[in-house]
């Protein structure tokens, strides 16, 4: 079962790069969805106010940032193996960052 807060591998067709992605959405809705909302992670931090820093203390292999400006909806069947499950302490930062990027923070 796929749950909010999971970090899973995903292969993006362009630019043909595998990267970890963070699953977002409500746990009570995710089981019914064929397409899952995800936010990619990147090792390249640009210093944007909505980037959420993560790292080995969160179960990830190296320091990285969550990139809410890259939010996508992907096919459930294409999500890869579980990498980590982010601690709940990050959810408020992730929510704030996502709302900021979408212009819904007002």
pLDDT tens readout for residues 71-85? 999 999 999 999 999
Domains in the chain (CATH in brackets) are 6-102 (2.30.30.110)
Residues linked to residue 72 through DSSP beta bridges, in sequence order: 38
Residues 15, 91: Cα–Cα separation, whole Å: 28
pLDDT tens readout for residues 26-43? 999 999 999 999 999 999
pLDDT given at position 80: 96
Would the pTM count as exceeding 0.85? yes
- φ, ψ of residue 12 to 5 degrees: the values are -80, 130
């Amino acid at each position: 079962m796929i749950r909010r807060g999971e970090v899973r591998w995903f292969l993006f067709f362009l630019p043909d790069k595998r990267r970890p992605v963070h699953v977002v959405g409500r746990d009570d809705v995710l089981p019914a969805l064929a397409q899952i909302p995800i936010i990619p992670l990147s090792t390249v931090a640009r210093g944007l106010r909505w980037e959420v820093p993560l790292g080995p203390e969160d179960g990830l292999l190296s320091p990285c940032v969550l990139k809410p400006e890259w939010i996508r909806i992907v096919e459930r069947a294409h999500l890869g193996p579980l990498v980590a499950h982010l601690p709940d302490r990050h959810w408020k930062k992730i929510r704030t960052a996502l709302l900021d990027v979408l212009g819904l923070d007002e």
